[in-house]
Amino acid sequence: MKNSTKPIKFNENFKEVNGKSVETINPPIYSGSTVLFESFDDLSMANTGKYQGVCYGTDRLPTQRAFEEALRELEGAFMTRAFQSGISAISNALMAFTQSGDHILVCDNVYGPTARFCTKILSRYSIEVTYFPAAIGAEIKNYIQTNTKVIFLESPGSNTFEIQDIPAVTRIAQEHEIVTILDNTWATPLYLHPFDLGIDISIQSVTKYISGHSDLLLGTVSVNQRYAEHFEDYYRSMEIYASAQDCYLALRGLKTLHVRLKQHEQSALKIAQWLKSMPLVEQVIHPALDEHPQHDLWQRDFSGSSGLFAFTLKKEYSNQELAKFIDALQLFAIGYSWGGFKSLITAGKYRRNTDSEYTDKTIIRLNIGLEDSEDLIQDLTQGLDNLSLDNPASISID
């Protein structure tokens, strides 16, 4: 055999060494395009769609299946499928359950790129989108049209953290046979069980807490029994798949999710309470605080809170002034995304389609990482020291 052939022919995989199987705690990473058939008979079965095994790289390789199954169990779903990112999970879930001429309802505090997908892409396929107030409950019935097919919720929603009355919405949706989708990234399946509240489809940006280390992008769609067959058919037809390396890391993240989340929760609560005592701070927006407008709903439906929350300042500062606070931070880095070990800060004004108490307000959002909360408080203190409440005529202090 020629040297050019030797390495290509080589196919020992060392699943066994000296007759003993090799078992690591973590499953192997299966990545690839071609999946080999054992025989021509198997290939013939695959050609006619009757082969029961995995046919190809897009057919969900074992590492992807292992992650999907672990998450499915945690979600209490009938079926879970992985996607290349959270936003890919969201856009595909929306496409799977809509067609031209349909109308969908989307909460006003939805993740920005979700709204952009609805407005820019779904509209090209004649799918009409209506945004409803962020803290909706039974009033959802006023927004339903005869062609409404999907209600999309995100609770607490992005940046302003309003909470929807999920059971009130799903009750009405079920009467009208409308599919309900919830972006459950903030609470994770550990702190909110969407299927118990009547939700049909639960979405995770795995990028956030589940992977937990800011080193990958991944998303999941988990479906109840009623819509599983329809969604499975969609997923297959689109030939979507998720990277094996990322599924491996996400599976690893799942093992420590409960410990990390508890730490994020405690630290965030401590910092939120402390921020309330700061003279410059107007409002701390955190669902687990008594003064959160939908705190009662949070208490009823959620079993915990995570490490992402926001606050507003009594005075609206110019960007130049705000920079003196934000650029001075040593432990909080400036950047999008969240759910990882590193504390992050973002600040901005968030446009809403419906009335919002936060219109024209700068929302400062904190992702509380795994650093010691005392160190984080010290960092915020030295940053906030660079702002002042001078020019009192322009502000109101109660």
Ligand X SMILES: *Cc1c(COP(=O)(O)O)cnc(C)c1O
Using the rule CB under 6 A, is 297 a contact of ligand X? no
Report the SS3 class of residue 319.
helix
Residue of this chain nearest to ligand X (CB atom): 86
> Using the rule CB under 6 A, which residue among 202, 207, 214, 243 binds ligand X?
207
Q: How many other β-carbons are positioned within 10 Å of the β-carbon of residue 165?
A: 22
Q: How many other β-carbons are positioned within 10 Å of the β-carbon of residue 389?
A: 13
Residues 134-193 that bind ligand X (CB under 6 A): 154, 158, 183, 185
Using the rule CB under 6 A, is 307 a contact of ligand X? no
Cα–Cα dist 159/350, whole Å: 8
Where does this chain touch ligand X (CB under 6 A) — which range of 39-47, 83-91, 169-177, 374-382? 83-91
**Chain-centre distance for alpha carbon 218:** 9
Using the rule CB under 6 A, is 85 a contact of ligand X? yes
Q: Phi first, then psi: give them for residue 118, nearest 5 degrees.
A: -65, -50
CB of 208 to ligand X, least distance (A): 6
Interface pattern 26-65 for ligand X (x via CB under 6 A)? ----------------------------------------
Cα–Cα dist 285/159, whole Å: 9
> Are 337 and 208 contacting, i.e. CB atoms less than 8 angstroms apart?
yes
Q: How far apart are the first and last CA of the chain?
A: 87
Using the rule CB under 6 A, is 337 a contact of ligand X? yes
**Chain-centre distance for alpha carbon 311:** 21
Residue among 135 and 217 whose Cβ is closer to ligand X: 217
Report the SS3 class of residue 2.
coil
Cα separations (Å) of 61 from 47, 54, 66, 151? 19, 7, 9, 32
Using the rule CB under 6 A, is 312 a contact of ligand X? no
Cα–Cα dist 234/239, whole Å: 9
Where does this chain touch ligand X (CB under 6 A) — which range of 46-54, 80-88, 172-180, 250-258? 80-88
Using the rule CB under 6 A, is 111 a contact of ligand X? yes
> Using the rule CB under 6 A, which residue among 87, 151, 285, 297 binds ligand X?
87
Q: How many other β-carbons are positioned within 10 Å of the β-carbon of residue 377?
A: 17
Residue among 97 and 209 whose Cβ is closer to ligand X: 209
Token pair 């968030």 in the structure block, residue: 350
CB of 160 to ligand X, least distance (A): 12
Where does this chain touch ligand X (CB under 6 A) — which range of 4-12, 86-94, 126-134, 189-197? 86-94
Where does this chain touch ligand X (CB under 6 A) — which range of 53-61, 69-77, 202-210, 298-306? 202-210
Residues that bind ligand X (CB under 6 A): 85-87, 90, 111, 154, 158, 183, 185, 205, 207-208, 217, 219, 337
